[in-house]
Amino acid sequence: MSYSKLFSKRAQALKSSVIREILKVTANPQVISFAGGLPSPEGFPVAQMKAAFDAVLSNDPKSVLQYSTTDGYAPLREWVANRVSVNGAVIAPDQVIMVSGSQQALDLIGKVLIDEGDKVLVETPTYLGALQAFSLFNPNFVSLASDDDGLDADKISAADAAGAKFLYALPNFQNPTGRMMTEARRASLVAKAREHDLLVVEDDPYGELWYEAAPPPSLLSRMPERVILMGSFSKVLAPGLRLGYIVAPVEIARKIEQAKQATDLHTSTVIQRAVYEVVKDGFLDEHIPRVRALYKKQAHAMIKALETHMPAGVTWNQPAGGMFLWVTLPEGMDAERLLEQAFARNIAYVPGAPFFANAVQSNTLRLAFVTVPEATIDAGIKVLAQVFAQQ
């Protein structure tokens, strides 16, 4: 039987993520991988999770193993609402929907907002997983000017904004670049969104992982009436939990709830209950500083290794938080082509190309630094520098 003719047009257009392909290579323990976007397992609070699962399964097994509501566990939604109510904004629990990882939030937002051909504004570059999730709904991506200070909203023209369904923004330690949107850039994005009546989707899985100082307040807190915020427990607890949340204006939240009901009925009851057990008494306030300290140390090791080994002409940014930094090779070099040579020397990274919705800058690449031990970072960057220098 020929299966391929049965696939929907949507499925036929699906491609395997470059990152998934690279991860296959990095399964080899010889390979030093700066490719995967995995958080460091040293930051997983194993004992707390174990105790929490034990507590909820002992105290309330009949309800934690049962189906539950689509919008999520009410005390956890209330906890999220309080946590995002900063900078004078007051977010109500009925604006919060718990989701199966923030990747599901991207899918649900696509389902609820994008019709084929709709304009979606994205940063340059932007999160590959969002491009994949939104692409299932066939939007027309418009790439917006961005630099080391993040998205440059002043450069959004009336033509860019006209008819856009939403603008997808990653203000904090962006995946892939590690960039943070400055206070001035946030203020100008708010002004632009108001001027052009734009809805903004704010994706913020890394905002808590700052090294020296917390980033400026969220876009949500500045204009809650026109922001959908996506948050995640993946980088502050553990990604295997598959737990995240959406905060949206109530009318959008109810529509997303309907879409989620059709998708998976609800997010895992037992996982929501265990996570609430872990976070309810302030555990994150002692836990996250440990993760920040670890990631800061790793980032410094990576920057020091780059400074020591990279040939002239290769540049990179200095992230103030998160798990990634962004390397730019001299014009004309192609990070995707060079990957073959890096693989041959047992080094992996992610080429920048798949993170661009339009006008690919093929001389860029993403380095992830949180899962590689410090001494190995230096050894790996030394080899990578030799690969680049040979060109």
Ligand X SMILES: Cc1ncc(COP(=O)(O)O)c(C=O)c1O
User: Please, what is the minimum distance in Å from the beta carbon of residue 362 to ligand X?
Assistant: 21
DSSP letter string, 170-203:
--SS-TTT-----HHHHHHHHHHHHHHT--EEEE
Contact map string, positions 42 to 81, toward ligand X, x by CB under 6 A? ----------------------------------------
Residue 135 sits in the site that holds ligand X (CB under 6 A): no
Residue 176: is the preceding peptide bond cis (ω within 30°)?
yes
What span, in angstroms and rounded, lies between the C-alpha atoms of 121 and 113?
Answer: 13
3-state secondary structure of 212: coil
CB of 170 to ligand X, least distance (A): 5
Task: Choose which of 26, 31, 35, 37 interacts with ligand X (CB under 6 A).
Answer: 37
CB of 232 to ligand X, least distance (A): 3
127 binds ligand X (CB under 6 A): yes
* Contact call for residue 170 and ligand X (CB under 6 A): yes
Applying CB under 6 A, the site for ligand X has a residue count of 14
Q: Does 129 bind ligand X (CB under 6 A)?
A: yes
Residue among 43, 45, 72, 101 that touches ligand X (CB under 6 A): 101
CB 306 within 8 Å of CB 315: no
How far apart, in Å, are the Cα atoms of 42 and each of 121, 210, 373? 36, 17, 11
| Site for ligand X contains 203 (CB under 6 A) | yes
In angstroms, the CA 71 to CA 69 distance is: 6
By CB under 6 A, is residue 371 in contact with ligand X? no
Stretch that binds ligand X, among 22-30, 101-109, 157-165, 379-387 (CB under 6 A): 101-109
205 lies in the binding site for ligand X (CB under 6 A): yes
Q: Which helix (H) or strand (E) holds 48?
A: helix 46-59
Distance of CA 17 to the CA centre of its chain: 15
User: Does position 239 bind ligand X by CB under 6 A?
Assistant: yes
Helix (H, G, I), strand (E, B) or coil at 7: coil
Residue 233 CB, shortest distance to ligand X, in Å, is 7
Contact 172, 149 (CB under 8 A): no
- The answer to whether the beta carbons of residues 186 and 200 sit under 8 Å apart is no
Smaller CB distance to ligand X: residue 239 or 310?
Answer: 239
Could you list the residues that contact ligand X (CB under 6 A)? Answer: 37, 101-103, 127, 129, 170, 175, 203, 205, 232, 234, 239, 244
